Amino acid sequence: MESVQQIEPLITNNTVIVGILMAILGLVFYTSGINNKFIKGFYDIIPPLLLCYFLPGVLNSFHVFDGANSPLTTIGSRYFLPACLILFILNLDIKEMWALRKRAGLMFITGTVGILLGGPLAVYLTSLVAPQVVGGSGPDEVWRGLGSLAGSWIGGSANQVALKEILQPSPKLFSSIIAVDVFVAYTWMALLLYGASKSKLMDKFFKADARDVDELMVKLEKKAKENAKMPETKDIIIMLSVAFAGTGLATFFAEPVAAYIMVNYPQLETFSLTNTFFWIILFATIISVCLSFTPLRKLENVGASKMGTALLYMLIVTIGMQMDILAILQNPGLFIVGILWISFHALLLFIVAKIFKIPFFYYAVGSMANVGGVASASVMSAAFHPSLISVGVILSVFSYAIGTYAGWLTAILMQLASPI
């Protein structure tokens, strides 16, 4: 059977694709503001953010364009992501963020444990019913491919590539694993985004005390309204210059640092310290935290977080365009393993959140910091409030550091759980 990757997309011109993606954003935002009870009812069920994420995935699935191999995805992660992080974190209140650390840390660790134990459990359960799905020999041993997936779901793409080199799955197996990664992780993200739109109901279900999160959001919103000014052209230019100059500076520092570590301390690759993207995000975060102590933090008064939100939505459509809804048809057995795996992760988070009465914000961001990495965790945090984005960033940076080791341990456990 011809693989999905071999089908020629209808549109290959990146300028046209950018136009389509921006048209999707415009259409969603325009229609979500229409005062019509049917349209409002639709957006009460399907939040605009989820639609901006899902519609590009539909177009990619039906080969309107090839999102997986588009340079726009790199532009989104290397340009829009650090730029929007800088604009969001400019208004950071470190004291308030520090108060969130305990519950955020608990849910992040729970999410990691859920991935670490969920993988072997999914392999074992599948082996009882369909051992051929998780069997194989040599480079085609399924646990090798799933081990690289563990690196992605605990850390990020860099950890996945590192474990691919360590475990050496066959190219065919690795391609199938990529499809599982994208479909399962992005479907889970879509469910969490929907949950974020119903966070009050979720908190009520968990009997959670969300006062720390709510008070921070109210405080920042009140402060923003009191100091808000209509932005002038110079304000918009200054905001963009700070965002992209900061991105450029972060990249300027990141590339030589990553290259130096690669040459002199290659063993640190297991901590993702040879990965340029890791350092770009880290330096962008440091730069923006430093700027939050300067008069530039007043850019929030003229809409820095709103500008950051615009960049974030441009990032969201580039993430969404990688989703292939039809990929499940290629290897349904592996998708069942992935679904069982993520279900255990979700269940463990659910149990801990229920026992400790933890707000859904920590559930969603703790999960995405593991499963999705910095881009997805940033999107998830912003779905609750732009002021909370730094929580997702900090957790995601930590996940990059532990992703390879924790992923390797997960792979070993999956090897033990695999049929002989």
pLDDT tens column, 333-366: 999 999 999 999 999 999 999 999 999 999 999 9
Q: What is the mean pLDDT of residues 156-177?
A: 80
The model's pLDDT over 81-129, given as tens digits with 9 standing for 90+, comes to: 889 888 888 877 777 667 778 888 999 999 999 999 999 999 999 999 9
CA 361, CA 66: separation in Å to the nearest integer? Answer: 33
Q: To which H or E segment does residue 56 belong?
A: helix 48-61
Q: How far is residue 107's CA from residue 198's CA, in Å, rounded to a whole number?
A: 19
What confidence category does residue 294 fall into, taking pLDDT thresholds of 50, 70 and 90? very high
Contact 363, 110 (CB under 8 A): no
Q: Compute the chain's Rg from CA coordinates.
A: 21
Q: By percentage, how much of the chain surpasses pLDDT 90?
A: 44
Residue 3 pLDDT level (bands cut at 50, 70, 90): very low
Q: Are 157 and 403 in contact (CB under 8 A)?
A: no
Mean pLDDT across 14-36: 94
- Determine what percent of the chain falls in helix, strand and coil, rounding each to the nearest 5: 80, 0, 20
Q: What angle do CA 210, 97, 224 make, to 5 degrees?
A: 85
Domain ranges of the chain: 90-304+328-417
Q: Is residue 212 over pLDDT 60?
A: yes
Distances (CA, A) of 266 to 154, 162, 168, 221: 21, 12, 18, 45
pLDDT of residue 61: 86
What SS3 class is residue 163? helix
CA nearest to 178, candidates 164, 194, 193: 164
Q: What is the DSSP letter of 137?
A: -
